[in-house]
A = this chain, B = another copy of it.
Amino acid sequence: MSTDKQIFARRESEARSYCRNFDTVFTKAVGSEMTDTEGKTYIDFLAGCSSLNYGHNDPDMKQALLDHVAGDGIAHGLDMYTAEKAQFLEAFEKKILEPRGMDYKVMMTGPTGTNAVEAAMKLARKITGRRNIISFTNGFHGMTMGALSLTGNAGKRAGAGNSCGGLCGVTHLPYDGAFGDGVDTLQQIEMMLNNTSSGIDKPAAFIFEPVQGEGGLNAASTEWMQGIARLAKEHGALLIVDDIQSGCGRTGTYFSFEGTGIEPDLITQAKSLSGFGLPFAALLIKREHDIWKPAEHNGTFRGNTHAFVTARVALEKFWSDDTFQKKVQEKSVMLTTGLQSVAEIVPGARLKGRGMMQGVDVGSGELAGDICARAFEKGLIIETSGADDEVVKVLVALTVSPETLRNGLEILREATQEATQNHKIAAE
């Protein structure tokens, strides 16, 4: 089957983006491989931007979904009670919350990450009666007006045009490492907050990503995260951890902040929550904060029943014990090793991120883009990240086989070699 791509140019908005870099028409996908209409197969190091942590079309989730649909299971039920929602909640309780000693309520927000973030913002402001939310440089939290106000990226913010509207009520402070290794931003943030003449209004909440997916794979240190958690407590603010991209096992544990001892008041989840790439998002709310009135935040698709089905399977299959987690951590080591050999090719390149959310800062967006373009020609789907798109980012499925991971890294190495060579020549 061959598809005419002209329809996209003719009818799809100019806002479309990934398709510009991966200029082919996909039609099938299994595990870490995607196939286009020409029959060409690609290794997928993007994994739906971390929405496909368990790979494409996992057979167990697929079968459960087929059974559900074939049996006329509910596709859309607003937020009514369904057997599938019950089973998802039970699995989430048993596999995720209870083993970690976490007592949270699950709020089904609209099925997008940005909606979970908006719900978190609203709830924090409602609880505290304050308006100001502190977010951090290079943070990315979504594109609707509230979430966009938290987002650092100027290009994204520009999409809002002349609209103070959603973009106020937020203070952007420096993330861990924002001023280089020598500067302790936590201490400065503390000084700003303790100075009653700093102009920083008392915060309703702090929100951060433990690893910044879009912002360049910056990973906050445990000490910094603990410090922010302490400041939030001291200043009567809520701590919101945005685990949309970094959660669901991506960094090696289910939540990316496990092991730090911090206890977020609110946790946003989306992307890989359904396990299958279906739209699904949730806000985890510490029990005492669940002061919503019925429907005070609602949305038509807040109970995506198909997603409940696959999400439940994902939880049972991968999080019933620590087998999966251990394998992921092993692959993280492979990834680090592989990326080190990539980084060695580019003078001044640095490794970024942690777990299965790592990449290489090659110093320029142009070079990083060239590497990804060459990789794609060689059959590898991979993207950049960072304020200047200067980081080549690996977000391969956590279920990737060691062999596929190795093959993908090899393509990446070759592409990097060629691109670097080419840039040297161009510079001479």
Partner-contacting stretch, out of A187-195, A323-331, A341-349, A366-374: A187-195
- Given contact pairs A138-B197, A159-B293, enumerate 7 new A-B contacts (beta carbons under 8 Å): A26-B82, A29-B75, A126-B158, A139-B199, A145-B166, A164-B168, A197-B386
Question: Across the interface, do B13 and A285 meet the contact criterion of CB distance under 8 Å?
Answer: yes
Question: Across the interface, do B26 and A77 meet the contact criterion of CB distance under 8 Å?
Answer: yes
Q: Point out the residues of chain B lying under 8 angstroms from A139, CB to CB.
A: 199
Q: Which residue of the partner chain B has the closest CB to A201?
A: B157
Question: Across the interface, do B80 and A18 meet the contact criterion of CB distance under 8 Å?
Answer: yes
Q: Point out the residues of chain B lying under 8 angstroms from A150, CB to CB.
A: 199
Check if A144 is an interface residue, CB within 8 A of chain B: yes
Q: Point out the residues of chain B lying under 8 angstroms from A5, CB to CB.
A: 81, 86
Residues of A in contact, count (CB < 8 Å): 164
* Interface set, chain A 3-43, CB cutoff 8 A to B: 3-5, 7-8, 10-20, 22-30, 34, 37
Bound Cα distance from A182 to B172, whole angstroms = 23
The verdict on A112 contacting B110 (CB below 8 Å), with A188-B179, A294-B15 known, is: yes
Q: Point out the residues of chain B lying under 8 angstroms from A95, CB to CB.
A: none
**Interchain nearest-CB distance for A212 vs B (Å):** 9
Question: Across the interface, do A278 and B306 meet the contact criterion of CB distance under 8 Å?
Answer: yes
Question: Across the interface, do A295 and B86 meet the contact criterion of CB distance under 8 Å?
Answer: no
Q: Which of B292, B299, B388 contacts A196 (CB 8 A)?
A: B388
Check if A71 is an interface residue, CB within 8 A of chain B: yes
Question: Across the interface, do B131 and A198 meet the contact criterion of CB distance under 8 Å?
Answer: no
The verdict on A174 contacting B157 (CB below 8 Å), with A8-B89, A387-B197 known, is: no
Check if A378 is an interface residue, CB within 8 A of chain B: no
Per-residue contact bits, chain A 195-233, to B (CB 8 Å; 1 contact, 0 not): 111111110100000000001100000000000000000
Q: Point out the residues of chain B lying under 8 angstroms from A121, CB to CB.
A: 145, 163
Bound Cα distance from A125 to B29, whole angstroms = 39
**Interchain nearest-CB distance for A238 vs B (Å):** 11
Q: Point out the residues of chain B lying under 8 angstroms from A166, CB to CB.
A: 145-146, 149, 165-166
Bound Cα distance from A154 to B147, whole angstroms = 21
